[in-house]
Structure 1
């Protein structure tokens, strides 16, 4: 039985249900679990682990440098946790040189800028950051969907990032998804091995996603 691929509307519905009385998760809990899965994916695929990065903030706490163009709540609490771990944060600025310098010191980029609800156009400071990230030549690992892409139409406007995963490797996180919700939305989730928070999808499944 193949996995089910989700529309943006259905993904949003599942997110909301995870956080309502049925799912009983707080947004911080979901970010913590998703961020841990992101960190485990990077650690699995790349031997040297630095990244730019709430899922990205959690992953950075496990791994390293953050480019965070704006603060929100509850991610602000996750940012404080990163500060407590003395993890470097590049503050928002019209000057892209600090981001350029951080990219030069990095080995891999964790793209957690936009999610599946992204709608163009790409506004400042992202309009300057995305080309810099693309031009860095570093491997990119995207969370949910590559930043700048439409979840159903792909990189239709041509401004999105092109992550390593779209060359053939996809990892699925979400071990925490309740069985009742899996059955309700017919997600057909694979088994997670051992105590892993992620599972790599077979290449045949990955090719269907392209």
Structure 2
């Protein structure tokens, strides 16, 4: 199978199509649930809990952060010890509900990233998604620097935080994750990503994929269903 990379505008149009009641019919919380579950599955495959099941999820204030909050919940149910660093929470009901779900499971929302990283085996980077533009501002500039220096394996959601969605790793500070979970379709900016690369996009309707000219995972019993950067697997 072949796939394609899409830019920021195309990614936004794809989300709009999916959430259009007359077209895709998805709600934002449905898409967030699917994204977070795919991330949790990728983490479980790459970093089995038997080899150290302590995860820190770093969540930003937007939809990428919401994906991370969902992933944290699923990872807890998969048997991982999970902490969440959420430095800039939003008052929007969707996100408040997600944090309530975490609190009901006694998943701690920690204030100190440094302390959390000392007791972690892997980090989930859910700070910025494909809508990110401009420079990395406080407090996230210091968060990225702390993650850079931690030497822990990092799993980024959709695009490594700080990377330009179109041009890739051109800013500072940015991350160099070991694993990437692209959502729906890989973005142009990760074309040269060399780590383990998963694709979570089985919910994309085939007719939409055909119209836009990209491939999505199909369940046919194959392990490596989409070959984009040399190692993209479906979740």
| Both proteins in one fold, TM over 0.5 | yes
Match of 1:94 in 2: none
8 Å Cα contact 1:58-1:78 kept in structure 2:
yes
8 Å Cα contact 1:3-1:189 kept in structure 2:
yes
TM-score for both structures, normalised by structure 2: 0.78
8 Å Cα contact 1:147-1:161 kept in structure 2:
yes
Residue 79 of structure 2 corresponds to residue 67 of structure 1? no
Match of 1:41 in 2: 42
Match of 2:184 in 1: none
Q: Give structure 1 stretches of 5+ with no counterpart.
A: 92-97
Q: CA distance change for structure 1 residues 208 and 140 in 2, over 3 Å: closer, same or farther? A: closer
The worse-fitting range, judged by mean Cα deviation, of 60-69 and 182-191 is: 182-191
Q: CA distance change for structure 1 residues 121 and 106 in 2, over 3 Å: closer, same or farther? A: same
SS of the equivalent of 2:169 reads coil
**Which structure 1 residue ranges, 4+ long, deviate > 6 Å from structure 2?**
none
What RMSD in Å do the two structures reach over aligned CA positions?
2.1
8 Å Cα contact 2:2-2:214 kept in structure 1:
no
1:106 and 1:208 map into 2 onto residues whose CA distance is: 26
Report 1:3-22 matches (<5 A): 3-21=3-21, 22=23
Residue 110 of structure 2 corresponds to residue 83 of structure 1? no
Residue 158 of structure 2 corresponds to residue 144 of structure 1? yes
Shift of 1:201: 4.3
8 Å Cα contact 1:182-1:188 kept in structure 2:
yes
Q: Give structure 2 stretches of 5+ with no counterpart.
A: 59-65, 76-81, 180-192
Match of 1:190 in 2: 217
Match of 1:179 in 2: 206
Which one has a larger percent strand, Structure 1 or Structure 2? Answer: 2
Aligned pairs, number: 199
SS of the equivalent of 1:102 reads helix
Shift of 1:150: 0.5
Which one has a larger percent helix, Structure 1 or Structure 2? Answer: 1
1:162 and 1:65 map into 2 onto residues whose CA distance is: 21
SS of the equivalent of 1:153 reads coil
